[in-house]
Amino acid sequence: MRCCAAGSCGDGEAAQLAQTQATLAQDRANEHLAVVTNQRTTRLVQQGWASKEQGDTDSSSQAATTAAVAAAQASIVAQQADVARLQQLTGFEKVVAPFDGVVASRNFDVGTLVTADSASGTPLLSLVQTSTLRIQIFVPQEDYFALKDGEDAEVTVPQLPGRVFHGRVARTAGSLQPGTRTLLAEVDVDNADGALTAGLYCIVRLAIPRPSPVIVLPSQAVIFDQHGLSAAVYANGALQLHHLDVLADNGATLDIRAGLDTGDQVVLNPPVNVRDGMPVQVAAGQPSTSDQ
């Protein structure tokens, strides 16, 4: 691999730095001579053996040499930083992987000119580590409060029937997506045997505990009228209409958060004219309604 900002460029900058350091040594010698000369001239002016013009000239010469030393020192600092940058770039000629993995793609061939530009440059290669795979899923809002880090997860892939991979919820975003009101979560799956690869589509099942118990009700038992959703519950020879607080509508079934109790006998297919307090006559094997 050839690098545009390596070897030769670094050697040139180092030589220029050495030249500037030599110039600094010469400027310091000139400064010392100017200081001595100015001190001697100052005494001669005070004693009347030298003109004030000569004293001003030597004083200005000392100030000029001091400024030259400061400029050389600043130039050395700048060149040292430039040399250090080039040395770092030269060190990038040896690419060391930060972790064990597999080279998934290589974007350059031997001898290709590589530019040191992290903004618009092309990556040399891409490295993947598949011993542990990270799966991103979006959890509905209704499960946000019950989902905790460390929850177990089961992962299946349609192309691998009968295989179940076990993982756990490693981390969550901590806030819902504004557009979908879902929570981004990451599930880590152990893939030490290499059965899976990065980029697969899979199905993730989470054993999320419910924050409060619910009752699953068939959809054909739900009554919809001007009062909302309700169900006909059989008790003491009559029907009682219970208003339902629905947690989730699953299509064929509904998760009821409030309105029903465990053990309630619900009419599966209530008649159109069902009303609260309607007496019923229970037939053998199943209850039947009668309008009396």
Q: Which two tokens stand for residue 94?
A: 């040896």
- Dihedral angle computed from the Cα positions of residues 213, 210, 140 and 152, in that order, rounded to the nearest 10 degrees: -150
Q: Which two tokens stand for residue 15?
A: 């030589």
Report the distance separating Cα 60 and Cα 37, nearest Å: 11
The CA-atom distances, in angstroms, between 65 and each of 69, 135, 136, 223, 257 are: 6, 67, 66, 99, 88
Report the distance separating Cα 110 and Cα 125, nearest Å: 13
The single residue listed with the structure tokens 């959809």 is 219
The single residue listed with the structure tokens 């590589």 is 114
Q: Which two tokens stand for residue 10?
A: 């670094």
Contact 28, 69 (CB under 8 A): yes
Q: What per-residue string of b and e applies to 213-250 under the rule 16 or more CB within 10 Å gives b?
A: ebbebeeebbbeeeeebbbbbbeeeebebbebebbeee
Q: Which two tokens stand for residue 233?
A: 């519950």
Report the distance separating Cα 203 and Cα 249, nearest Å: 21
Q: Which two tokens stand for residue 145?
A: 């409060």
Tell me the pLDDT of the chain (292 aa) as tens digits.
334 444 455 667 777 778 778 887 887 888 788 788 878 788 777 877 778 888 778 788 888 888 888 888 888 888 888 888 877 777 777 778 888 888 888 888 888 877 766 677 778 888 888 889 999 999 998 888 888 889 999 999 999 999 999 999 999 998 999 999 999 999 999 998 889 988 889 999 998 877 677 888 888 888 888 888 888 888 888 888 889 888 888 888 888 888 888 888 888 888 878 887 888 777 665 544 444 3
